[in-house]
Amino acid sequence: MTQEKSPRELELQRLQEDLEFLEGYIKEFSEFLPLPICTANPLNIILGINQSFRDFTGYNEIEIGGREINELFLEKKEAMALVKEISQKDARVVKEMTLLTKDKKKIPVSVCGLSRRDEDGNFIGYFLALSDISESKRFQEELEDRVKEKTKELEKRTKDLQTSRTALMNILEDVDEARRRAEEEKNKTLSVITNFTDGLLIFDEKNNLSSINPQAEVFFEVKAQNLIGKQVSELITFPAFKSLIELVGLKIQEIFRKEMRLKENLILEVTTLPIIRKKEKIGKLAILHDVTREKMVERMKTEFVSLAAHQLRTPLSAIKWTLRMLLDGDLGEITDEQKDFIEKTYSSNERMISLINDLLNVTRIEEGRYLYKTVLADIETIIELAINFYKEEIEKRKLKVEFKKPKERLPQIMVDIEKIKLAFQNIFDNAVRYNRAGGRVTVSLNYDKKRIEVMVKDTGVGIPKEQQERVFSKFFRAANVMRMETEGTGLGLFIAKNVIEAHGGKIWFESEENKGSTFYFTLPVQ
Partner 1 sequence: MAKKILIVEDEEILIDLLQRKLTNEGYEILVARDGDEGLKIMQEINPDLVLLDIVMPKMGGFEVMEEMAKDSELKKIPIIVISNSGQPVEIDRAQELGAKDWLIKAEFDPQEVLDKVAKQIGK
Options 323-331, 429-437, 441-449, 472-480: segment touching partner 1 (CB under 8 A): 323-331
Q: Using the minimum distance from each CB to partner 1, give the nearer residue, 356 or 461.
A: 356
Least Å distance, CB 353 to partner 1, is: 5
- Which among 21-29, 64-72, 306-314, 510-518 is the span making contact with partner 1, rule CB under 8 A? 306-314
Residue whose CB is less far from partner 1, 297 or 331: 331
Q: In the chain, how many H helices and how many E strands?
A: 15, 17
Decide if residue 307 touches partner 1 (CB under 8 A): no
- What sections of 36-100 are H helices per DSSP? 51-57, 61-64, 76-88
Taking the least distance from each CB to partner 1, the nearer of 175 and 318 is: 318
283 neighbors 210 (Cβ within 8 angstroms): yes
303 near partner 1, rule: CB under 8 A: no
318 half-sphere exposure, CB direction, 13 A CA radius = 4
Q: How far apart are CA 70 and CA 80, in angstroms?
A: 7
CB of 352 to partner 1, least distance (A): 9
344 is a contact residue toward partner 1 (CB under 8 A) = no
Site pattern 399..418 for partner 1 (x: CB under 8 A) = -------------------x
Q: Can you tell me whether residue 125 is helix, strand or coil?
A: strand
When asked if residue 339 is in the footprint of partner 1 (CB under 8 A), the reply is no
Cβ partners under 8 Å of residue 70, min gap 6: 44, 76, 79, 80, 83
Q: Which range of residues in 3-11, 193-201, 271-279, 310-318 is near partner 1 by CB under 8 A?
A: 310-318
* Beta carbons within 8 Å of 444's beta carbon, 6+ residues apart: 403, 404, 405, 454, 455, 457
Task: For the CB of residue 338, give the shortest distance to partner 1 in the complex, in Å.
Answer: 18
Q: Closest separation between CB of residue 475 and partner 1, Å?
A: 22
Q: Is 331 in the site for partner 1 (CB under 8 A)?
A: yes
Asked whether position 373 contacts partner 1 by CB under 8 A, the answer is yes
322 contributes a contact to partner 1 by CB under 8 A: yes
How far does CA 170 lie from the centroid of its chain?
29
Q: How far is the CB of 350 from partner 1 (least distance, A)?
A: 9
What is the CB-side half-sphere exposure of residue 173 using CA atoms within 13 A? 5
Nearer to partner 1, 116 or 313 (CB): 313
Could you give the C-alpha distances from 235 to 125, 214, 246, 253, in angstroms and in order?
105, 17, 11, 16
- Contact stretch for partner 1 (CB under 8 A) within 1-9, 39-47, 249-257, 315-323: 315-323
Instruction: Please tell me the distance from the alpha carbon of residue 67 to that of residue 98, in angstroms, as a whole number.
Output: 17
Q: Which is nearer to partner 1, 291 or 327 (CB)?
A: 327
One character per residue 345-364, x = contact with partner 1 (rule: CB under 8 A): --------x--xx-------
Q: d(Cα 111, Cα 99) in Å, to the nearest integer?
A: 9
3-class state of residue 465 by DSSP? helix
CA distances from 239 to 220, 244, 245, 338, 419 (A): 9, 10, 10, 71, 41
Exactly one of 149, 153, 330, 485 binds partner 1 (CB under 8 A); that residue is 330
With CB under 8 A as the rule, give the number of residues binding partner 1: 20
Q: Which residues bind partner 1 (CB under 8 A)?
A: 310, 313-314, 316-318, 320-322, 324-325, 328, 330-331, 353, 356-357, 372-373, 418
